[in-house]
Amino acid sequence: MKTRERPYSTWFAIGLLRGKSVFGLLLLLNLSIFNCHATQSSNYDTLFKSSADNERLQALAERLIIGENASGSFTQHRTLKVLKKPLISHGRFIFDYRLGLVWQQTQPFETTLILKEGELIQIDSAGRRQVSQAGSNQGAAAIAQTMPKLLSALLSGNLSDLSEHFNLYLKADDTRSEPQEGEPAHWQLGLIPKDPLLVKAIPQMVLEGDKQVSALILLSDNGDSSRIEFEQISKAPLSQEQRLLLSDKQGEDSPKVQPEAKPEPYP
């Protein structure tokens, strides 16, 4: 059989790749066509007017550095306008600069999200696993790109990495006087994604803290918001059990739910 890589065929061959990737980050569009109520939480208006300069960012970064790994628990308050009451969930997280991130919700039901090396593993309440390669579909790609970058930059205090992907705004109480010893000033860091698609999904983010990061707030244009509060952040080296969870060893013998097999479509 002749190889198909002959020149005549390749003229044609690369052809209809055109538009192959136009679907990138499709879901991240956040269905912006319905965003008719552009109510912006005014709490943060002043924050997003104060651009962060490098010097102050650096000062913040130095205080934030927590090392290569972290673990802790979180409480998430999610307020959606169409719901009668806010959704509150609890869980824990494990982060390692090299290994990746485990985001495990324990209440009101258990779901786990493991991100490592561009792979996103989702385990739902029934224990079904879905593995997707970063980029294999938009949703996964978006989260896979944003979350680890954000968190690893935040948790390791690498703010220059952050500024590559976000416009940064800083409001800190340390502008008036030197922070008192043992009494760290409260600060807010505003982030607006530079990526035009990401900015549609998450128009604004706010990171709050004093000595450490204490909360991450996601704001959307339609009035929905999510507030994730970090608690008991530990910089101690990860335990064996935590490492095991991160490396997701148990996943290898359980069957993986693959996305529907379908021809790879692109014109």
Residues 79, 85: Cα–Cα separation, whole Å: 7
Contacts of 218 (CB under 8 A, 6+ apart): 202, 204, 205, 225, 226, 227, 228
Residues 16 and 91: their CA atoms lie apart, in Å, by 46
Rounded CA gap, 147 and 153, in Å? 10
193 preceded by a cis bond (ω within 30 of 0): no
Nearest distance, CB of residue 86 and other proteins, angstroms:
10
Sole window of 172-180, 182-190, 207-215, 224-232 interacting with other proteins (rule: CB under 8 A): 224-232
User: What character string, x for contact with other proteins (CB under 8 A) and - otherwise, covers 134-173?
Assistant: xxxxxx-x-x-xxx----------------x---------
Nearer to other proteins, 172 or 207 (CB): 207
Long-range contacts of 128-135 (CB under 8 A, 24+ apart): 128/257, 129/251, 129/254, 129/255, 129/256, 129/257, 130/256, 130/257, 130/259, 131/251, 131/256, 131/257, 131/258, 132/259
Q: How many residues bind other proteins (CB under 8 A)?
A: 86
C-alpha dihedral over 78, 80, 85, 86, to 10 degrees?
10
Closest CA to 210 of 226, 224, 230, 227: 230
Amino acid at 184: P
Indicate whether 195 belongs to the interface with other proteins (CB under 8 A): yes
In whole angstroms, how close is the CB of 37 to other proteins at the nearest point? 8
- By C-beta, is 180 or 261 nearer to other proteins? 261
Least distance from C-beta 5 to other proteins, angstroms?
Answer: 7
Site for other proteins in 103-132 (CB under 8 A): 105, 109, 111, 124-126
Q: Where does this chain touch other proteins (CB under 8 A) — which range of 26-34, 167-175, 177-185, 248-256?
A: 26-34
Residue 12 binds to other proteins (criterion: CB under 8 A): yes
In DSSP notation, 44-58 reads GTTGGGSBPPHHHHH
Q: List the one residue from 223, 229, 235, 243 that touches other proteins (CB under 8 A).
A: 223
Smallest gap from residue 66 Cβ to other proteins (A): 22
- The reply to whether 255 sits near other proteins by the rule CB under 8 A is no
Q: Is 226 in the site for other proteins (CB under 8 A)?
A: yes
Q: How far is the C-alpha of 110 from the C-alpha of 89, rounded, in Å?
A: 10
Tokens 């593993």 belong to: 121
Select from 68, 174, 210, 224 the one that contacts other proteins (CB under 8 A): 224
Contact 90, 243 (CB under 8 A): no
The binding track of 51-90 with respect to other proteins, each residue x by CB under 8 A or -, is -------------------------x-x-xxxxxx-x-x-
Q: Does residue 183 belong to the site contacting other proteins (CB under 8 A)?
A: no
Rule CB under 8 A: is residue 180 a binding residue for other proteins? no
Residue 27 binds other proteins (CB under 8 A):
yes
